[in-house]
Amino acid sequence: MITSEQVSFDQQHIWHPYSSMINPPPMYPVESTSGVRIKLSSGQELIDGMASWWSVIHGYGHPELNKAAHEQIDKMSHVMFGGLTHEPAIELCRKLVKLTPSNLDKVFLADSGSVAVEVAIKMAIQYFHAQSMPEKCKLLTIKNGYHGDTFGAMSVCDPVTGMHEIFTSLLPKHHFAPAPQIGFSETWDEKDIADLKSILETNHQNIAALILEPIVQGAGGMRFYSPQYLVKARKLCDQYNVLLIADEIATGFGRSGKLFACEHAQIQPDILCLGKAITGGYMSLAATLTSTKIGETISKGGAGCFMHGPTFMGNPLACAIANKSLELLESTDWYNNVQRIEKGLVSGLSEAESLASVANVRCLGAIGVIEMKEAVNTTEIQKLFIERGLWIRPFGKLIYVMPPYVMNDEDLSTLTTGMVDAVACYNY
């Protein structure tokens, strides 16, 4: 049992994500987790609508993942990846090459999503540097995007919604196009890609890559945009000799209704970033994949190698769990589960559309979003969710859920009903 003294120590000494040390947010001590539930020290159980920031796709405490962790830790929990290799990493990379678009056959394993993005950016820049084109060192991205909290990743997050505006003077200056405005199912209009096209026409000589979140913009706004935008962006990148980096850290492994969101547009990126759900939420692990052409070009450059190497790269314990997580994904009919969840979200959240405080309701795959007309007080509305036995963490105007794929229909209905009810009861 977590004591009140421990909670007090936490609030005085431990920094939580995006939190203040002067006015720390309330903390809800967790005693244990199981399936789709979080059990608090108070004894209350909450249905987890967040899948621990979108990663726990198989639910908590899955026996197969537990078994994989136990078996691997008895063999080795970690060994340096420099000059050594091991079966868990080899088999994980084999799976990733098989699952991802056919042009991607070189895998760099990292330890977090932000690092996967850093690796992708360095790959793109080093690729052109190896071809004696060092001037191609800038990036192009779209507004409302979010790619992580490290400095390279921050530089391609939206300057305002990306939460990193106070670092603007220190960050590299890149090119930003307006965010796509045409929604996922809306009729395509060529005007939506015009600004991106103009930036490439004018600046392609110094642009190494276009980086974006395919179809679903996550922490920058939970926006779903037209697959045609991605189709056109791919063609423009080919036309102007610019690489396309797909950041699928949030969308990878089925979240959008396709195994990878790029499949909605049937395009192949030059570089792909993966993370979050790769280990089923058990451990931090990420991967950046690219093509033979890019890998060999980088390796033929002046450095003779790719200039990156994290200490915990290819961690055997994380790789072993990731292998089992991907096996579970393929064997448990993830597609129909996600389609079932999408139907439940659409049905359950539709009642929020009539509320005066709600601007928009939208769902795609296992993602459900209620966008409010005004920003909510996270602390206050979270209390309403907890009273209804739910764990939901909104931000700004956005109240959203990304539930585990194993959530049954009854729990999903409880989640959406409680979500709508709390929004209806919330007072600004």
Residues tagged active-site: 18, 146, 247, 276
Burial class (CB in 10 A: 0-12, 13-18, 19+), 198: exposed
Separation of alpha carbons 48 and 53, rounded Å: 10
Separation of alpha carbons 375 and 394, rounded Å: 10
DSSP label of 245: E
Longest dimension (CA), the chain: 62
User: Which amino acid, one-letter code, is at 428?
Assistant: Y
